[in-house]
């Protein structure tokens, strides 16, 4: 398969694969950013667009048609699914999995090994459009090892605790503590993560394979 060309403002590690119709190192009109830096073993699938100014670790993968705007700091072993959008100035930790059709706005921090199911939407502005957006929107946090179920909406200024699980379709309007299960609209804490059962009895409890601090 023919690979897309590598522009001069892109530094990419060995063993990469850039599929056709990939655009990397983009800049908005009239702006210039630092070079796009991508580690080794990257797989950027067709029709994805990665802007300049990003620093991305090793083993990065995208689905098809992914958009990653400028000035994100993305760790190792991160995967972003088909048709997902990551806006600018985010911090995404090692091992994060963002599934298809997700939207991550500006100024979000996602901890290591967090998992976002299909269709997750994170919102960061209380009263859009806001003249103080650059200050007001710096608020959303998803903790290490958190799992966000499919089609969840995280409202502005919420923090998801580490290891916590948010049930599919929930709307999260307030902070969720560590190590709990929260479900509903608005999402409410229902139980401890340790109270979950493995319905198919493969394990005594779900997530027993994980190391939790």
pLDDT tens for residues 144-199? 999 999 999 999 999 999 999 999 999 999 999 999 999 999 999 999 999 999 98
Q: Verify cis geometry, omega within 30 degrees of 0, for the bond prior to 115.
A: no
What pLDDT sits at residue 209? Answer: 85
> In the structure encoding, which two tokens stand for residue 170, read together?
């929930």
Q: Which residue ranges make up each domain of the chain?
A: 1-79, 90-193
Question: Is 213's pLDDT higher than 70?
Answer: no
Cα–Cα dist 121/125, whole Å: 13
What is the Cα Rg of the chain in Å?
A: 18
What pLDDT sits at residue 139? Answer: 85
Percent of the chain clearing pLDDT 90 (strictly above): 80
Cα–Cα dist 44/64, whole Å: 8
Local confidence band at 212 (pLDDT 50, 70, 90 cut-offs):
confident
Local confidence band at 2 (pLDDT 50, 70, 90 cut-offs):
low
Q: Is 99 part of the annotated catalytic residue set?
A: no
All residues at 6 or more sequence positions from 134 whose CB lies less than 8 Å from its CB, including other chains = none
- Please tell me the CATH code under which domain 90-193 is placed: 2.160.10.10
pLDDT tens for residues 39-63? 999 999 999 999 999 999 999 999 9
Average pLDDT over residues 13-30: 94
Residue in 16, 83, 99, 127 annotated catalytic: 127
């Amino acid at each position: 398969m023919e690979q897309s060309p590598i522009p001069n403002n892109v530094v990419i590690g060995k063993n990469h694969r850039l599929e056709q119709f990939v655009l990397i190192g983009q800049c908005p009109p009239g702006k210039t950013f630092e070079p796009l830096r991508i580690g080794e073993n990257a797989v950027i699938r067709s029709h994805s667009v990665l802007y300049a100014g990003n620093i991305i670790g090793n083993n990065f993968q995208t689905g098809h048609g992914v958009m990653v705007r400028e000035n994100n700091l993305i760790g190792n072993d991160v995967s972003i699914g088909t048709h997902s959008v990551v806006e600018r100035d985010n911090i995404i930790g090692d091992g994060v999995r963002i599934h298809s059709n997700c939207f991550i706005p500006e100024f979000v921090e996602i901890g290591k090994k967090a998992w976002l199911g299909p269709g997750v939407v994170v919102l960061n502005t209380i009263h859009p459009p806001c003249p103080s957006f650059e200050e007001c929107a710096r608020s959303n946090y998803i903790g290490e090892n958190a799992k966000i179920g499919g089609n969840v909406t995280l409202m502005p200024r919420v923090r998801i605790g580490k290891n916590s699980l948010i049930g599919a379709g929930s709307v999260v309007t307030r902070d969720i503590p560590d190590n709990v299960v929260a479900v509903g609209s608005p999402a409410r804490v229902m139980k401890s993560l340790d109270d979950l059962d493995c319905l198919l009895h493969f394990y005594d409890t779900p997530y027993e394979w994980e190391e939790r601090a």
